[in-house]
Amino acid sequence: MKILVADDSATNRAVLGTLLTNMGHQPIFAENGREAVEVFERELPDCILMDIMMPVEDGLSATRRIKALSSGRLTPIVMVTTLDSETDLINGIEAGADDYFTKPIKMPVVKAKVRAMQRAIEVQRDIEQKTQELEKYYYEAENDMRITSHIMQRMTEPEKLDDPAFEYWLQPTAQCSGDLICAARTPGGVLHLILADGTGHGLSAAMDVIPLPQIFYAMTAIAYSIGTIAAEMNAKIKALLPVDHFIAATLIAVDPNNQTIEVWNGGNPTCWILNGRGELVHSARSKHLPIGILEPNAFDASTEKVRFSKGYRVISFSDGLPDAGNASGAELGLDRILSVFRKTAASSCMAKLKTLVAAHTNNSKTHDDISVVIIHTDKLATWADKTSHPIHSSHPPALSTTLSNGWRLEMRLGATELKVLDPIPFVIDLLKKLQVTDAHLSSLFLIISELFNNALDHGLLKLDSAIKHGENGFENYLNLRAHRLAELSQDATLELEFENQASEKYCLLKIRVKDSGDGFNHQITERGKEHAELQHGRGISLVEKIADQVVYNYSGNEVIVTYSL
Amino acid sequence: MQVTTQHHGDTITITLEGRFDFSAHRVFRGQYEASLQVPAVKHVALDMAKVEYLDSSALGMLLLLNEGARANNIQVAIINCPENVMKILNIANFGRIFKIS
């Protein structure tokens, strides 16, 4: 240690200096208080032995000044005095001295006091170093949070959440949230939404959910179903995250054309479907393990689907909402949340929910991230709305002839493929890559999916749309469909053909769909349009509206649609 | 959280007490890793009777235990779950991975 000896007596300086040198320390000297302060500033000693009675400036004054100068850094000062009085001791301690000894100097006492100071300094230095390390970690953690938060924001594409069809609320506990909400429309106008909750909260939870948005947006853009998207997310997350990390997620698809709500819920609280009066009509409870736990081959992508009518809403939230605790630890609970929807006008439910949480938690921070989504099915535009709208009643502006060399794609699917594969996303992806504009893409999606579904459901599976009517009709239809698909005969086939024909004057896409079934009577829809439009035939009459030409063969198992690009 | 273990025949019972959350990570991991190394153990029973609270990081720890157990051909059962613990395990559908009672 470098030890400053401030004493006006040359003898004392010599005695103490020798002693300290013998102890292995490095003594430096000052002859009065003022000099002591100067030497302190210049040499920054580790410890000071300070005489009280000195000329120019006494030890008490110098001690006060040194203590004021050395804020934050411990430099122990031991008072050395001949005045063995209590007043002197008190004055010294009040001036900031840490200990004292009296003259005449007794060597063992000085040695012991210096050793005690050394111990105090070592503890202090250790704490200082740890504090510095902590500060460094803290700074780094803050910086990591900032970067993660930035990446999260970019990846979730918040502008896509600006959609009149739903409201959302995300209240993170830390700078970056482990809760994630993403939403996008498929080319067919179906709203896809995901509400995900990574293990824990803060940085690691945010890291967990980072891979999700990209999968979600890329697959929604080419019309993959939410079940398939969930399966893809599971495979990716399982491969990326450590065993003890996973993501609770709810994926929701709201199809305004078919008036269906589809839900896949793995590990999140029950997703509620409410009718126009705010009454609970369906509970989509968690039926699956969260994402990232099961091996891909064990993953269950099955969803539940319900029909909606006017005024229906879908409510989904992370467990941070019902678990939000008040000062005495009582949770908000599901009943209180549900009653908000029963008692409040649809437009002000979210605001009411926020007030409820603020009041319950007394505006203090919750221990987990909160995220809530309310989907208003009434606010999703249907295809019927779009085609009746003057802007959409004519074709979108003609495409520059990037497709003009002409191409043809033919697909033939057997029973085995039809059971596991949805070919539409592949076709949409192809069209997208061939620079077909979004406006055309959504028309083409409607046409292709309608033709494909008709061929599969009515042509091969021989399902009658009339089953959909009446109590539980829709559910019965879906059950029967799943059953017949599983039993589909091995020689069943479905052909899809796409041919682009282009010249300087036109650019066409011909779509041919043929199934090996007996043919379904599309003419029923033609003859009884007014009835059919209302019920099951809406799809094909819409196809007729947006395509240039729709031609069925005689038996009705093959259709060719011509569409101008 | 307090973790105690009891060895009886081919079964080790790990009894948890208190809040089962991230702060329990080290003590829980230490105990179950030691338990999985005990020779001739075929079953691990996690007694949750005295668990007051369980969060998602606790679920993560259960998955770690499960993986370790599977590698050693050991069956894991979660027993004596209080209602609130059961609720969380049910929402996460952990019944598909563990025997829960």
- Hey, is A169 helix, strand or coil? strand
A270, closest residue in chain B (CA to CA): B91
What is the interface pTM, i.e. ipTM, of the complex?
A: 0.90
For each successive 10 residues of chain B (101 residues), what is the average pLDDT?
90 93 88 88 94 90 93 93 93 94 88
Cis peptide upstream of residue A104 (ω within 30 degrees of 0)? yes
**Cα dihedral value A205, A211, A213, A215, nearest 10:** -150
Domains of chain B: 2-100 (3.30.750.24)
Taking the CA of residue A238 and the nearest CA in chain B, the distance in Å comes to 12
DSSP E strands, A140-185: 166-171, 179-185
* Number of helical (H) and strand (E) elements in chain A, helices listed first: 19, 20
Residue A269: its chain B contacts at CB < 8 A?
A: 91
Strand partners, A217: none
Give the integer Cα–Cα distance in Å for A563 and A401: 15
pLDDT mean across residues, chain A: 87
Give the integer Cα–Cα distance in Å for B55 and A246: 13
Residue B86 near chain A (CB below 8 Å) = no
Residue appearing with tokens 């630890």 = A329
Q: Do residues A405 and A502 lie in contact, with contact meaning Cβ atoms separated by under 8 Å?
A: yes
**Structure tokens of A515?**
């199934």
In this prediction, residue A349 carries a pLDDT of 93
A-B contacts (CB, under 8 Å): 50
Residue A289 and residue B97: Cβ atoms within 8 Å?
A: yes
Using alpha carbons only, how large is chain A's radius of gyration in Å?
A: 39
In this prediction, residue A83 carries a pLDDT of 60
Taking the CA of residue A200 and the nearest CA in chain B, the distance in Å comes to 6
Give every CB contact of residue A75 below 8 A, 6+ residues apart in sequence: A40, A44, A45, A46, A47, A48, A66
Taking the CA of residue B22 and the nearest CA in chain A, the distance in Å comes to 8
Domains of chain A: 2-127 (3.40.50.2300), 157-379 (3.60.40.10), 387-564 (3.30.565.10)
Residue A294: its chain B contacts at CB < 8 A?
A: 96
Q: Is B16 exposed, middle or buried (0-12, 13-18, 19+ CB in 10 A)?
A: buried
Give the integer Cα–Cα distance in Å for B36 and B38: 6
- Hey, is A7 helix, strand or coil? coil
**Structure tokens of B43?**
């079953």
Q: Sort strands A271-274 and A191-198 into parallel, antiparallel or unpaired.
A: unpaired
In this prediction, residue A3 carries a pLDDT of 93
Residue A54 has pLDDT above 70, yes or no: yes
- pLDDT, one tens digit per residue, over A245-260 is 999 999 999 999 889 9
CA A30 to centroid of chain Cα atoms: 64
* Lowest-confidence segment of A478-492, A516-530, B63-77 by average pLDDT: A516-530
A291, closest residue in chain B (CA to CA): B92
Residue B97 and residue A199: Cβ atoms within 8 Å?
A: no
Give the integer Cα–Cα distance in Å for A51 and A246: 67
Residue B53 near chain A (CB below 8 Å) = no
